[in-house]
């Protein structure tokens, strides 16, 4: 896991396919996201502009839309200038339902610097060698154990952006164990993702959505626990099956053409015998303590990106001092590490720009109004399944679970009363749909950032993830349908 100013980040955002003449090449993540921004801007010329009235919700600390108040407003079509400004506005957007991306982007850059400093000390490479040796013959068991830890973070506090540092930590270990980068990314992204999909006490999904729906967040807990447990078994089995296949035959890896390149990048010093000295043990201890403090701060201390960024900045300095790096080495390595994740920071802003264009064009509420009409008058069974698919569509354009909860629940939850469906089922349908779409949507900075760090093209991630998403969708629809009966 080197700190390389040539950064494979930009390489990873490309297709990873051979540049054979005439062979289709899937566009880069930057192009995909910009194309979506152009598409959404074009919708502002077609979709009528409209808005709901909003009232302050003290429990949520935000303004929420009021059902039955949708009305047409003057169109604000988004043109060429708006499209090219969208990624810039994505950094500090003053009109979207969520804050701009500048805090997340800064966190990503600080994480890059932090990991660069830790790597420079040799502690990571020495630690990987020790872990690989300790797991000899039992490498496969790291998959369910680690996925369970990330799932716990997802279901308890909506672990998402906080996963970004773990990719660069775990992918080298996974590759050294004989698996591939897809397995490493899956452990983190799908582990945390299935936790969010089966959220139990997640304040950014279940709690906010339940508050907006006017019910206690404990309503529907048994169903969500069942979705979490069974969904985790399905997802973990899927990843383990792929990992076992790749380990037995590396040619079956989706990134087999990058095998040598990935080993050189993630295991740059693997051929060297790096002594696991006392100072390196102390550095890895500080490394683990830093993440422990981060998890505590987010879950119990009310921390967010600014506090986490400060934590990793301070930890970088402390680790640099313990590793006896000179002032020039420490600062230079930190900057080089931040440079390696610069592409991820840009992806974060571009993805946020999609919501900027929708909100500025006054079409977000119109789409929500159409969704409201689509479920009106349906019976219980059809209602809950249509609601699930509506939330899938909304989640594509608004990947933030908290943002979508505040926007959609005050409108969609009351409709359940007329369909004789409990409101907690609407909340479960929302969080399940939001969780599943955020496993692969290109509008999510977490998805695009994670696969970028893993040097996996978006096309290859879709190829890996789509079958699982299909399986989970059928599973969730069955669970929701059964719940309408009981």
- CA 261, 451, 245, 188 torsion-angle sign: positive
pLDDT confidence bin for 25, thresholds 50/70/90: low
CB of 185 closer than 8 Å to CB of 171: yes
Percent of the chain past pLDDT 70, that is, above it, reads 89
The more confidently predicted of residues 140 and 11 is 140
- Whether pLDDT at 181 is above 90: yes
Q: How many CA atoms lie within 13 A of 156 on its CB side?
A: 11
pLDDT (0 to 100) of residue 225 = 94
pLDDT confidence bin for 244, thresholds 50/70/90: very high
The more confidently predicted of residues 374 and 94 is 374
Average pLDDT, the chain: 84
d(CA 294, CA 307): 9
Token couple for 92: 């500090």
Q: Averaged over 133-158, what is the pLDDT?
A: 83
Lowest mean pLDDT among 238-242, 349-353, 355-359, 386-390: 349-353
pLDDT (0 to 100) of residue 20 = 39
pLDDT (0 to 100) of residue 55 = 86
Residue pLDDT, tens place only, 405-414: 888 888 888 8
Q: Averaged over 100-106, what is the pLDDT?
A: 75
Q: Averaged over 306-314, what is the pLDDT?
A: 90
pLDDT confidence bin for 331, thresholds 50/70/90: very high
pLDDT (0 to 100) of residue 311 = 92
pLDDT (0 to 100) of residue 23 = 56
Token couple for 239: 């990843």
Q: Averaged over 354-364, what is the pLDDT?
A: 88
Bridge partners, residue 50, by sequence: 72
- Whether pLDDT at 288 is above 90: no
- Whether pLDDT at 382 is above 60: yes
3-class DSSP state of 72:
strand
The more confidently predicted of residues 419 and 135 is 419
- CA 140, 142, 145, 148 torsion-angle sign: negative
pLDDT (0 to 100) of residue 354 = 83
* 248 Cα distance to chain centroid: 29
Longest alpha-carbon distance in the chain? 70
The more confidently predicted of residues 426 and 22 is 426
pTM of the model: 0.73
Neighbours of 4 (CB within 10 A): 16
Token couple for 72: 């047409």
pLDDT (0 to 100) of residue 469 = 96
């Amino acid at each position: 896991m080197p700190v390389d100013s040539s950064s494979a980040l930009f390489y990873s955002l490309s297709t990873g396919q051979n540049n054979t003449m005439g062979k289709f090449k899937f566009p880069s993540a930057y192009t995909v996201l910009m194309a979506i921004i152009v598409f959404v801007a074009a919708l502002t010329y077609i979709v009528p502009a409209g808005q709901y009235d909003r009232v302050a919700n003290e429990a949520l600390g935000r303004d929420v839309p009021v059902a039955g108040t949708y009305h047409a407003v003057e169109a604000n079509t988004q043109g060429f200038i708006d499209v090219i400004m969208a990624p810039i506005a994505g950094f500090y957007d003053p009109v979207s339902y969520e804050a701009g991306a500048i805090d997340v982007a800064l966190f990503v850059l600080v994480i890059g610097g932090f990991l660069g400093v830790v790597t420079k000390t040799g502690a990571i490479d020495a630690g990987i060698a020790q872990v690989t040796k300790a797991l000899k013959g039992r490498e496969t068991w790291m998959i369910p154990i680690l996925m369970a830890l990330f799932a716990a973070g997802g279901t308890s506090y909506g672990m998402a952006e906080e996963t970004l540092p773990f990719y660069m930590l775990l992918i080298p270990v996974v590759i050294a164990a004989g698996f591939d980068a897809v397995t490493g990314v899956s452990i983190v992204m799908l582990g945390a993702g299935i936790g969010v999909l089966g959220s139990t006490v997640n304040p950014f999904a279940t709690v906010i959505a339940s508050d907006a729906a006017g019910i206690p967040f404990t309503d529907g807990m048994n169903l969500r626990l069942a979705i979490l447990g069974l969904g985790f078994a399905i997802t973990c089995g899927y990843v383990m099956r792929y990992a076992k296949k790749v380990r037995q035959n590396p040619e079956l890896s989706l990134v087999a053409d990058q095998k040598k390149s990935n080993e050189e990048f993630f295991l740059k010093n693997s051929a060297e015998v790096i002594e696991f000295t006392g100072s390196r043990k102390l550095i890895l201890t500080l490394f683990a303590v830093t993440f422990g403090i981060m998890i505590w701060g987010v879950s119990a201390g009310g921390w967010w990106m600014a506090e986490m960024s400060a934590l990793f900045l301070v930890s970088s300095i402390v680790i640099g001092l313990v590793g006896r790096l000179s002032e020039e080495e420490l600062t230079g390595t930190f900057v080089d590490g931040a440079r390696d994740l610069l592409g991820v920071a840009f992806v974060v802003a571009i993805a946020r720009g999609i919501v900027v264009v929708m909100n500025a064009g006054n079409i977000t509420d119109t789409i929500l109004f159409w969704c409201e009409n689509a479920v009106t008058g349906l019976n219980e069974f059809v209602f809950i399944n249509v609601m699930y698919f509506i939330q899938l569509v909304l989640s594509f354009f608004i990947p933030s679970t908290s943002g979508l909860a505040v926007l959609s629940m005050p409108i969609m939850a009351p409709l359940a009363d007329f369909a004789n469906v409990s409101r907690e089922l609407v909340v479960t349908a929302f969080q399940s749909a939001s969780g599943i779409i955020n496993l692969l949507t290109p509008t999510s900075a977490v998805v695009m950032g994670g696969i970028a760090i893993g040097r996996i093209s978006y096309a290859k991630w879709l190829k890996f993830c789509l079958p699982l998403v299909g399986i989970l969708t059928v599973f969730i629809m069955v669970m929701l349908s059964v719940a309408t009966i009981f």
